[in-house]
Chain A
Amino acid sequence: MAYRFWRVHAAKANFMGGAIALNPRAATLTASASSRATLESAAVRWTLIAVASLFLALFLFMPLAMVFVSAFSKGIHAYLASFREPDAQAAIRLTLLTAGIAVPLNLLFGVAAAWCIAKFEFIGKSLLITLIDVPFSVSPVVSGLIYVLMFGLQGAMGPWLVAHDIKIIFAVPGIVLATIFVTFPFVARELIPLIQAQGNDEEEAALTLGASGWQTFLRVTLPNVKWGLLYGVIICNARAMGEFGAVSVVSGHVRGLTNTMPLHIEILYNEYQFVPAFAVASLLALLALLTLVIKSFVEWQSKRQLTEDAENWSMETA
């Protein structure tokens, strides 16, 4: 992985290592001078750390802690009772269904987009990359609205849909569509740079050795990017399950029918049912934490792979 990148860096490290070995006295001199010259005094260091921590405590840790503290404020029984509500269960089921459709479709799209963008050079490629980013920059509310204007009663396809008795807006299909739109770029954005860094050499070698296109993809490309792909899917899933603005516009807020978990939280909160609201919110917060854990794991894995590649390389050259 990132083989070319490492070739450059390993060469640089060798060069510098050589210089240090030649002149050990100069090396120690620079080392001690550098730590003094490029490090702030302990007082400055700890002040900066304290200010940064205070900022993060106010804006990151407190909201996270608040979710769980409020959810359990009336004890574990009240917490668990929140999930026995039929409306809460319906909201959880609808959220799972929505993510279950949106994530695989966006995964398929992400892999296809990453393959053609990262492996080939063609005219209009940078335009295509920019267009894939569009859903990131559009406000969630506008993302929902565009589907209302397309499929709603007053919309472009409205009369035709009514005539054929198909309901998309204020129904489940609209929720799924809006979710697909909002989570559209995640897998593609995660995969494109990874596959690009890979280069085409390994795939070309596999093809010359007689592997089919699918075999090459499954056995060469996919294993190289599996961790990045996993993170792409996980973050796409977290966003799909947590989407609020876009879904809120197209859902119609029918309890037990078109309410996803975030919409259910909103209703409970506006009815001052704080414990059930934060209880449902705590599930989504757990999902967010799980997403971050997997992200850290993926980063650790790819770092490990990078060092292994570098070791293999230096063994080859030695």
Chain B
Amino acid sequence: MVLKKRSILPGFGMTLGFTVSYLCLIVLIPLSATFLKAATLTWPRFWHVISDPRAVASYRITFGASLIAALINLVFGLLVAWVLVRYTFPGRRLIDSLVDLPFALPTAVAGIALTAIYSSHGWVGQYLAMMGIKAAYSQLGIVIALTFIGLPFVVRTVQPVLEDLDRDMEEAAASLGANRLQVFTKVILPSIWPAALTGFTMAFARAIGEYGSVVFISGNMPMKTEITPLLIITKLDQYDYAGATAIAVVMLVVSFVMLLAINLLQKWSSKAQRAQSSSGSAPLGLDLEPIYGSTAN
């Protein structure tokens, strides 16, 4: 059996050896230590910790707020990507480079800034307060923070696909009598959908684990605005290592499922894009094949 294809390039053994050892030391061994620690809990005890009403409430808040934030980012991410790719307007390049800000800005900085804006005396919070909406120190605050940290994902996954999109298809649809909305829903949306869904899942996965930006704005009330990562910290502060580990294992399992989902989505997305660009680059070949096929019958 051949483990590796032959190549004249040197350094395979050295770099792979270093990569794998470093990966084991930093990531794999500490992660497996966590699962070993969790295995010292008996099953009923483990179940008791992870199904505790306070824990379940924290899952509901974490997943609910992450889902809403990811949906907001799906809608507005598509809009922002569209505007950046298709239109020219003053400030476009500035916006384009600032979209990545949530990747680069520390979460704690984002947290205190968002809290200051959406608290009842803040720039936006005071107007929301007048309407009777409490933004900071509520579940809405959690959604706001998670929307901020997930903002770049959908924009950055959809943008390149939209840039590569062949306008010929849109022209064809228009010349066949489709209006602009029909062209968007029937031609453009199916092409960018895999990428948009990938971005949505990434934003959702990122939001589930988020801690830094949320703790400042959420108010951290058990059962109401306590997210799961915060519950882990609370248990650690009470020296309840077993409880913290049990909840952490739940979060790790969710992370791995999300990672798997993102990988599959990315494969689907790039396959969809390849199929599209190959049909675009061979205008005389591939596109006519179905027609020949049907006439042959």
B28 within 8 A of A: yes
With A40-B180, A281-B109 known as contacts, the answer to whether A146 contacts B124 (CB < 8 A) is no
Binds B, one of A55-63, A79-87, A306-314: A55-63
Asked if A155 and B259 sit within 8 Å, CB to CB, the answer is no
- How many chain A residues sit at the interface, stated as a range, is 35 or more
Chain A residues positioned under 8 Å from B4 (CB to CB): 120-123
CB distance from A160 to the nearest CB of B (A): 13
Q: Would you list which residues of chain A between 286 and 311 have a CB under 8 Å from chain B?
A: 287-289, 291-293, 295-296
**A129's closest neighbor in chain B, by CB?**
B263
B114 within 8 A of A: yes
Chain B residues positioned under 8 Å from A238 (CB to CB): 104, 106
The docked-state distance in angstroms from the alpha carbon of A136 to that of B258 is: 11
With A55-B80, A60-B99, A132-B23 known as contacts, the answer to whether A249 contacts B241 (CB < 8 A) is no
The docked-state distance in angstroms from the alpha carbon of A147 to that of B30 is: 6
Chain A residues positioned under 8 Å from B238 (CB to CB): none
Asked if A141 and B209 sit within 8 Å, CB to CB, the answer is yes
Q: Which of A49, A130, A133, A216 has the most CB of B within 10 A?
A: A49
B297 within 8 A of A: no
Chain A residues positioned under 8 Å from B244 (CB to CB): 145
CB distance from A139 to the nearest CB of B (A): 3
Asked if B113 and A213 sit within 8 Å, CB to CB, the answer is no
Asked if B232 and A142 sit within 8 Å, CB to CB, the answer is yes
Chain A residues positioned under 8 Å from B148 (CB to CB): 59-60, 63
Asked if A109 and B33 sit within 8 Å, CB to CB, the answer is no
**B216's closest neighbor in chain A, by CB?**
A269
Asked if B180 and A135 sit within 8 Å, CB to CB, the answer is no
Can you list, as one digit per residue, whether each of A100-124 has a CB less than 8 Å from chain B (1) or not (0)?
A: 0000000011001101110111110
A232 within 8 A of B: no
Asked if B236 and A138 sit within 8 Å, CB to CB, the answer is no
Chain A residues positioned under 8 Å from B98 (CB to CB): 56, 60-61, 64, 292
Asked if A245 and B229 sit within 8 Å, CB to CB, the answer is yes
Binds A, one of B42-50, B191-199, B249-257: B249-257
Can you list, as one digit per residue, whether each of B71-104 has a CB less than 8 Å from chain A (1) or not (0)?
A: 0000010011011001101010001011111111
Chain B residues positioned under 8 Å from A30 (CB to CB): 171
Asked if A123 and B3 sit within 8 Å, CB to CB, the answer is yes
A177 CB contact (under 8 Å) in B14, B26, B80, B124: B26
Asked if B33 and A292 sit within 8 Å, CB to CB, the answer is no
Chain A residues positioned under 8 Å from B117 (CB to CB): 62-63, 66
The docked-state distance in angstroms from the alpha carbon of A117 to that of B114 is: 40
With A51-B79, A66-B123, A130-B259 known as contacts, the answer to whether A266 contacts B87 (CB < 8 A) is no
Asked if B83 and A48 sit within 8 Å, CB to CB, the answer is yes
The docked-state distance in angstroms from the alpha carbon of A33 to that of B80 is: 26
With A63-B117, A134-B31, A145-B245 known as contacts, the answer to whether A244 contacts B106 (CB < 8 A) is yes
Chain B residues positioned under 8 Å from A184 (CB to CB): 26-27
Asked if B112 and A278 sit within 8 Å, CB to CB, the answer is yes
B41 within 8 A of A: no
The docked-state distance in angstroms from the alpha carbon of A116 to that of B8 is: 13
Asked if A207 and B79 sit within 8 Å, CB to CB, the answer is no
- How many chain B residues sit at the interface, stated as a range, is 35 or more
CB distance from B139 to the nearest CB of A (A): 17
B131 within 8 A of A: no
Asked if A141 and B233 sit within 8 Å, CB to CB, the answer is yes
A265 within 8 A of B: yes
A149 CB contact (under 8 Å) in B9, B34, B124, B229: B34
A262 within 8 A of B: yes
Asked if B22 and A244 sit within 8 Å, CB to CB, the answer is no
CB distance from A23 to the nearest CB of B (A): 15
With A207-B9, A265-B112 known as contacts, the answer to whether A137 contacts B34 (CB < 8 A) is no
**B13's closest neighbor in chain A, by CB?**
A116
Asked if B15 and A266 sit within 8 Å, CB to CB, the answer is no
CB distance from A261 to the nearest CB of B (A): 8
Asked if B281 and A141 sit within 8 Å, CB to CB, the answer is no
The docked-state distance in angstroms from the alpha carbon of A146 to that of B91 is: 44
Which of B's residues lie within 8 Å of A, judged by CB? 3-5, 7-12, 14-16, 18-20, 22-23, 26-31, 33-34, 36-37, 76, 79-80, 82-83, 86-87, 89, 91, 95, 97-110, 112-114, 116-117, 123-124, 144, 147-148, 151, 167, 170-171, 174-175, 180, 183, 205, 208-212, 216, 229-230, 232-233, 236, 241, 244-245, 248, 251-252, 255-256, 258-259, 262-263, 281
Which of A's residues lie within 8 Å of B, judged by CB? 8, 12, 30, 33-34, 37-40, 44-45, 48-49, 51-53, 55-56, 58-64, 66-67, 70, 108-109, 112-113, 115-117, 119-123, 128, 130-142, 145-150, 152, 154-156, 177, 180-181, 184, 200, 203-204, 207-208, 213, 216-217, 235, 238-239, 241-245, 248-249, 261-263, 265-266, 269, 274, 277-278, 281, 284-285, 287-289, 291-293, 295-296
**Nearest 7 A-B pairs (CB), nearest first?**
A242-B106, A139-B209, A37-B174, A244-B212, A213-B10, A245-B211, A288-B104
Contact sample, A vs B, 12 pairs, CB 8 Å cutoff? A40-B180, A44-B180, A60-B101, A62-B117, A112-B19, A141-B209, A142-B255, A146-B33, A156-B33, A216-B9, A265-B108, A284-B109
